[in-house]
Amino acid sequence: MSQRAALGPPGTVWIAPSILSADFAELAQGIAAVERGGADLIHIDVMDGHFVPNITIGPPVVKAIKRVATRPLDVHLMIEQPERYVDDFVRAGADMLSVHVEASRHLHRTIALIKSRGIRAGAVLNPSTPAAALDEIVGDLDFVLVMSVNPGFGGQEFIPQSLDKLRRVRDVVARTGAPIPIEVDGGIDQTNAAHVVAAGATILVAGHAIFGGDDPEAATRALRAACGSPAGSHE
Protein backbone atom coordinates (compact mmCIF):
# COMPACT_ATOMS: atom_id res chain seq x y z
CA MET A 1 0.00 0.00 0.00
CA SER A 2 1.19 3.53 -0.77
CA GLN A 3 2.24 5.80 2.06
CA ARG A 4 0.64 9.16 2.76
CA ALA A 5 2.43 11.69 0.58
CA ALA A 6 4.01 14.53 2.53
CA LEU A 7 2.82 17.88 1.17
CA GLY A 8 5.57 20.06 2.57
CA PRO A 9 5.67 22.61 5.37
CA PRO A 10 3.10 25.44 5.56
CA GLY A 11 3.71 28.11 2.93
CA THR A 12 5.46 25.75 0.51
CA VAL A 13 4.27 25.77 -3.10
CA TRP A 14 4.46 22.42 -4.84
CA ILE A 15 4.66 21.80 -8.59
CA ALA A 16 2.69 18.86 -10.02
CA PRO A 17 3.34 18.27 -13.74
CA SER A 18 0.36 16.65 -15.46
CA ILE A 19 1.20 13.76 -17.75
CA LEU A 20 -1.98 14.44 -19.75
CA SER A 21 0.15 16.66 -21.99
CA ALA A 22 3.20 14.39 -22.04
CA ASP A 23 4.38 12.19 -24.90
CA PHE A 24 3.08 8.77 -23.86
CA ALA A 25 5.61 7.05 -26.12
CA GLU A 26 8.36 8.54 -23.93
CA LEU A 27 6.53 8.82 -20.64
CA ALA A 28 9.34 7.51 -18.43
CA GLN A 29 11.77 10.01 -19.92
CA GLY A 30 9.28 12.85 -19.47
CA ILE A 31 8.71 11.98 -15.83
CA ALA A 32 12.45 11.77 -15.21
CA ALA A 33 12.89 15.20 -16.80
CA VAL A 34 10.32 16.96 -14.61
CA GLU A 35 11.73 15.26 -11.53
CA ARG A 36 15.16 16.65 -12.41
CA GLY A 37 13.45 20.02 -12.73
CA GLY A 38 12.17 19.81 -9.17
CA ALA A 39 8.65 18.45 -9.57
CA ASP A 40 7.10 17.57 -6.23
CA LEU A 41 4.24 15.37 -7.48
CA ILE A 42 3.28 13.60 -10.69
CA HIS A 43 -0.34 14.46 -11.57
CA ILE A 44 -2.34 11.77 -13.36
CA ASP A 45 -5.74 12.55 -14.89
CA VAL A 46 -8.10 9.58 -15.15
CA MET A 47 -11.11 10.14 -17.44
CA ASP A 48 -13.91 7.72 -18.29
CA GLY A 49 -15.69 9.30 -21.26
CA HIS A 50 -18.85 9.74 -19.16
CA PHE A 51 -18.17 12.25 -16.42
CA VAL A 52 -15.96 14.15 -18.88
CA PRO A 53 -15.90 13.91 -22.71
CA ASN A 54 -12.57 12.13 -22.94
CA ILE A 55 -10.98 8.78 -22.11
CA THR A 56 -7.44 8.53 -20.77
CA ILE A 57 -5.85 5.84 -18.63
CA GLY A 58 -6.58 3.35 -15.88
CA PRO A 59 -4.84 1.48 -13.06
CA PRO A 60 -2.39 -0.48 -15.28
CA VAL A 61 -0.77 2.74 -16.53
CA VAL A 62 -0.65 4.17 -13.00
CA LYS A 63 1.07 0.96 -11.89
CA ALA A 64 3.64 1.34 -14.68
CA ILE A 65 4.27 4.98 -13.75
CA LYS A 66 4.78 3.95 -10.13
CA ARG A 67 7.72 1.80 -11.20
CA VAL A 68 9.59 4.75 -12.72
CA ALA A 69 8.48 7.80 -10.72
CA THR A 70 10.31 8.86 -7.58
CA ARG A 71 7.70 11.47 -6.63
CA PRO A 72 4.26 10.75 -5.12
CA LEU A 73 1.47 10.06 -7.60
CA ASP A 74 -1.39 12.56 -7.45
CA VAL A 75 -4.28 10.72 -9.15
CA HIS A 76 -7.31 12.81 -10.15
CA LEU A 77 -10.41 10.72 -10.85
CA MET A 78 -12.68 12.41 -13.40
CA ILE A 79 -15.03 9.45 -13.45
CA GLU A 80 -18.54 8.48 -12.44
CA GLN A 81 -18.95 6.42 -9.26
CA PRO A 82 -15.30 6.85 -8.26
CA GLU A 83 -15.81 4.80 -5.11
CA ARG A 84 -15.91 1.64 -7.24
CA TYR A 85 -12.29 2.13 -8.30
CA VAL A 86 -10.59 3.44 -5.16
CA ASP A 87 -8.96 0.13 -4.29
CA ASP A 88 -7.79 -0.42 -7.87
CA PHE A 89 -5.91 2.87 -7.90
CA VAL A 90 -4.54 2.39 -4.39
CA ARG A 91 -3.13 -1.00 -5.42
CA ALA A 92 -1.70 0.60 -8.57
CA GLY A 93 0.30 3.04 -6.46
CA ALA A 94 -1.67 6.26 -5.99
CA ASP A 95 -0.38 8.34 -3.08
CA MET A 96 -3.13 10.96 -3.39
CA LEU A 97 -6.61 10.38 -4.78
CA SER A 98 -9.11 13.12 -5.56
CA VAL A 99 -12.76 12.75 -6.54
CA HIS A 100 -15.25 15.31 -7.81
CA VAL A 101 -18.00 16.51 -5.52
CA GLU A 102 -20.24 16.38 -8.61
CA ALA A 103 -19.50 12.70 -9.26
CA SER A 104 -19.77 11.10 -5.83
CA ARG A 105 -23.29 10.80 -4.43
CA HIS A 106 -21.98 9.86 -0.98
CA LEU A 107 -18.89 12.03 -0.79
CA HIS A 108 -18.20 11.56 2.92
CA ARG A 109 -18.21 7.79 2.46
CA THR A 110 -15.87 7.98 -0.53
CA ILE A 111 -13.41 10.28 1.24
CA ALA A 112 -13.45 8.03 4.30
CA LEU A 113 -12.79 5.01 2.08
CA ILE A 114 -9.76 6.64 0.48
CA LYS A 115 -8.31 7.70 3.84
CA SER A 116 -8.89 4.23 5.28
CA ARG A 117 -6.50 2.91 2.63
CA GLY A 118 -3.67 5.03 4.04
CA ILE A 119 -3.42 7.66 1.29
CA ARG A 120 -4.46 11.30 1.05
CA ALA A 121 -8.01 12.13 -0.04
CA GLY A 122 -9.09 15.26 -1.87
CA ALA A 123 -12.30 16.74 -3.24
CA VAL A 124 -12.46 18.50 -6.61
CA LEU A 125 -14.65 21.42 -7.68
CA ASN A 126 -15.59 22.07 -11.30
CA PRO A 127 -15.55 25.74 -12.39
CA SER A 128 -19.32 26.15 -11.96
CA THR A 129 -19.44 24.46 -8.54
CA PRO A 130 -19.37 27.01 -5.70
CA ALA A 131 -16.80 26.95 -2.94
CA ALA A 132 -19.68 26.49 -0.47
CA ALA A 133 -20.03 22.91 -1.74
CA LEU A 134 -17.05 22.13 0.49
CA ASP A 135 -18.66 23.38 3.70
CA GLU A 136 -19.79 19.97 4.98
CA ILE A 137 -16.74 17.97 3.85
CA VAL A 138 -13.68 20.24 4.07
CA GLY A 139 -12.80 19.16 7.61
CA ASP A 140 -12.38 15.59 6.39
CA LEU A 141 -10.13 16.44 3.46
CA ASP A 142 -6.36 16.21 3.09
CA PHE A 143 -6.45 18.65 0.15
CA VAL A 144 -8.83 20.50 -2.17
CA LEU A 145 -8.50 20.66 -5.95
CA VAL A 146 -9.99 23.64 -7.82
CA MET A 147 -10.48 23.22 -11.56
CA SER A 148 -9.61 26.40 -13.46
CA VAL A 149 -10.81 24.92 -16.76
CA ASN A 150 -13.74 22.67 -17.55
CA PRO A 151 -12.22 19.19 -17.18
CA GLY A 152 -11.72 16.80 -20.05
CA PHE A 153 -8.90 18.11 -22.22
CA GLY A 154 -5.43 19.54 -21.76
CA GLY A 155 -4.18 22.80 -23.21
CA GLN A 156 -7.22 24.89 -22.29
CA GLU A 157 -7.04 28.54 -21.25
CA PHE A 158 -7.26 29.51 -17.59
CA ILE A 159 -10.71 30.80 -16.57
CA PRO A 160 -10.03 34.26 -15.05
CA GLN A 161 -12.86 33.95 -12.49
CA SER A 162 -10.91 31.07 -10.95
CA LEU A 163 -8.86 33.57 -8.95
CA ASP A 164 -11.97 34.69 -7.06
CA LYS A 165 -12.96 31.04 -6.67
CA LEU A 166 -9.58 30.23 -5.14
CA ARG A 167 -9.99 33.06 -2.64
CA ARG A 168 -13.41 31.75 -1.62
CA VAL A 169 -12.04 28.22 -1.24
CA ARG A 170 -9.18 29.63 0.84
CA ASP A 171 -11.76 31.22 3.14
CA VAL A 172 -13.64 27.92 3.49
CA VAL A 173 -10.41 26.09 4.31
CA ALA A 174 -9.31 28.78 6.77
CA ARG A 175 -12.42 28.21 8.86
CA THR A 176 -11.18 24.69 9.67
CA GLY A 177 -8.01 26.04 11.24
CA ALA A 178 -6.08 23.27 9.48
CA PRO A 179 -3.33 23.76 6.86
CA ILE A 180 -5.24 22.00 4.07
CA PRO A 181 -3.40 22.44 0.73
CA ILE A 182 -5.33 23.96 -2.17
CA GLU A 183 -4.47 22.57 -5.58
CA VAL A 184 -5.33 24.31 -8.85
CA ASP A 185 -5.52 22.60 -12.24
CA GLY A 186 -6.13 24.05 -15.68
CA GLY A 187 -4.30 26.57 -17.83
CA ILE A 188 -1.56 27.16 -15.28
CA ASP A 189 1.60 28.67 -16.75
CA GLN A 190 4.27 31.28 -16.06
CA THR A 191 1.87 34.17 -16.71
CA ASN A 192 -0.60 33.29 -13.95
CA ALA A 193 1.36 31.15 -11.47
CA ALA A 194 2.09 34.01 -9.08
CA HIS A 195 -1.54 35.14 -9.21
CA VAL A 196 -2.97 31.73 -8.26
CA VAL A 197 -0.47 31.41 -5.43
CA ALA A 198 -1.46 34.84 -4.14
CA ALA A 199 -5.11 33.73 -4.29
CA GLY A 200 -4.41 30.70 -2.10
CA ALA A 201 -3.11 27.85 -4.24
CA THR A 202 -0.28 25.80 -2.78
CA ILE A 203 -0.12 22.98 -5.37
CA LEU A 204 0.10 23.96 -9.04
CA VAL A 205 -0.82 21.42 -11.70
CA ALA A 206 0.55 22.20 -15.14
CA GLY A 207 0.46 20.11 -18.28
CA HIS A 208 0.92 22.01 -21.53
CA ALA A 209 3.13 24.64 -19.88
CA ILE A 210 5.58 21.90 -18.91
CA PHE A 211 5.25 19.18 -21.53
CA GLY A 212 4.19 21.36 -24.46
CA GLY A 213 7.75 22.39 -25.29
CA ASP A 214 11.06 20.67 -25.89
CA ASP A 215 12.48 20.86 -22.36
CA PRO A 216 10.14 19.74 -19.55
CA GLU A 217 12.96 19.99 -17.02
CA ALA A 218 13.59 23.67 -17.76
CA ALA A 219 9.85 24.36 -17.94
CA THR A 220 9.35 22.89 -14.47
CA ARG A 221 12.07 25.12 -13.06
CA ALA A 222 10.63 28.15 -14.86
CA LEU A 223 7.16 27.56 -13.44
CA ARG A 224 8.53 27.35 -9.91
CA ALA A 225 10.47 30.57 -10.44
CA ALA A 226 7.36 32.27 -11.84
CA CYS A 227 5.31 31.49 -8.75
CA GLY A 228 8.03 32.80 -6.46
CA SER A 229 8.59 29.49 -4.70
CA PRO A 230 12.04 28.24 -3.73
CA ALA A 231 13.25 24.87 -4.96
CA GLY A 232 11.27 21.94 -3.67
CA SER A 233 12.47 19.47 -1.08
CA HIS A 234 13.35 16.89 -3.74
CA GLU A 235 16.05 18.95 -5.47
DSSP letter at 180 equals -
For residue 36, what are the CA distances in angstroms to 50, 70, 203?
35, 10, 18
DSSP letter at 54 equals -
| Radius of gyration, CA atoms only, the chain | 16
CA-closest candidate to residue 171, choices 223, 134, 119, 222: 134
The residue type at 215: D
Q: Which of 40, 45, 48, 142 is catalytic?
A: 45
Q: Which of 95, 142, 185, 189 is catalytic?
A: 185
3-state secondary structure 118-179: CCEEEEEECCCCCHHHHCCCHHHCCEEEEECCCCCCCCCCCCCCHHHHHHHHHHHHHCCCCC
Count of helices and strands (H, E) across the chain: 8, 8
Bridge partner residues of 44 (DSSP): 75
88 among known catalytic residues: no
Pairing of strands 120-125, 182-185: unpaired
45 among known catalytic residues: yes
In DSSP notation, 204-230 reads EEESHHHHSSS-HHHHHHHHHHHTTPP
Catalytic positions are 45, 185
